[in-house]
Structure 1
Amino acid sequence: MALHFIRRGSGSPLLLVHGIGGSCRSWSTILDALAAEHEVIAVDLPGHGASPPLAGPHTIGTLADALTAFLAEQGLLGIDAVGSSMGARLVLELARRGGVLGAVVSLDPGGFWEGWEVPFFYHSVALSQKLVTALQPVMPTLMHSAAGRTALLPQFSARPWAVDAQLAQEEMHSLAHTPVFAELLDALAHGEVQQGAAKGSLPAPLVIGWGRHDRVCLPGQAPRALAAFPDARLYWFADSGHFPQWDQPAETVRLILASVSRQSFRDEDIAAADRRPMKTRALPGAAVAAAGLLVVAGALWLLRRQR
Structure 2
Amino acid sequence: MELNHIRRGTGDPLLLVHGLGGSWRTWDPVLDDLAAEREVIAVDLPGHGETAPLSGEVSIDTLATAVSSFLEANGLDGVDVVGNSMGGRLVLELARRGDVGATVALAPGGFWKGWERYFFYATLAPSIRLVRLLQPVMDRLMDNAVGRTLLLAQLSARPWALSGDVALEEMRTFAESPSFGELLRRLAFEPGQRGAASTRGPVVIGWGRKDRVTLPRQAKRAMTRFPNAQLYWFGESGHYPHWDAPEEAAQLILASTVSEAGTTLE
Q: What interval of TM-score do these two structures reach, taking the shorter chain for normalisation?
A: over 0.9
Retained in 1: the 8 A contact 2:109–2:193? no
1:78 has 2:75 as partner: no
Match of 1:66 in 2: 66
How far has the Cα of 1:157 moved from its partner?
0.4
Q: AA paired with 2:104? A: V
1:1-307 alignment, distance < 5 Å: 1-98=1-98, 100-198=99-197, 201-261=198-258, 262-268=260-266
Q: 1:265, 1:239 → 2: CA distance?
A: 23
Q: 1:171, 1:38 → 2: CA distance?
A: 24
Q: 1:132, 1:229 → 2: CA distance?
A: 35
> Deviations 1:253-285 (Å, cap 9, x if unpaired)?
0000000014444444xxxxxxxxxxxxxxxxx
Q: AA paired with 2:84? A: S
Q: AA paired with 2:71? A: L
Q: Secondary structure at the match of 2:29?
A: coil
> Deviations 1:101-143 (Å, cap 9, x if unpaired)?
0000000000000000000001101111111111111110010
Q: How many equivalent pairs are there?
A: 265
How far has the Cα of 1:193 moved from its partner?
2.3
Q: Secondary structure at the match of 2:101?
A: strand
How far has the Cα of 1:203 moved from its partner?
3.4
Q: Determine which structure has more spread, i.e. the larger CA radius of gyration.
A: 1
Q: Secondary structure at the match of 1:7?
A: strand
Q: Could you list the runs of 5+ residues in structure 2 that have no partner in the other structure?
A: none
Q: Decide which moves more: 123-132 or 58-67.
A: 123-132
Q: 2:159, 2:227 → 1: CA distance?
A: 33
How far has the Cα of 1:62 moved from its partner?
0.2
Seq. identity, %: 60
Retained in 1: the 8 A contact 2:112–2:192? no
Q: AA paired with 1:50? A: E
Scaled by the length of structure 1, the TM-score of the pair is 0.85
Q: AA paired with 2:217? A: G
Retained in 1: the 8 A contact 2:16–2:42? yes
Scaled by the length of structure 2, the TM-score of the pair is 0.98
How far has the Cα of 1:192 moved from its partner?
3.0
Q: Secondary structure at the match of 1:42?
A: strand
Q: AA paired with 1:143? A: M
Q: Could you list the runs of 5+ residues in structure 1 that have no partner in the other structure?
A: 269-307
Q: AA paired with 2:183? A: L
Q: 2:115, 2:42 → 1: CA distance?
A: 34
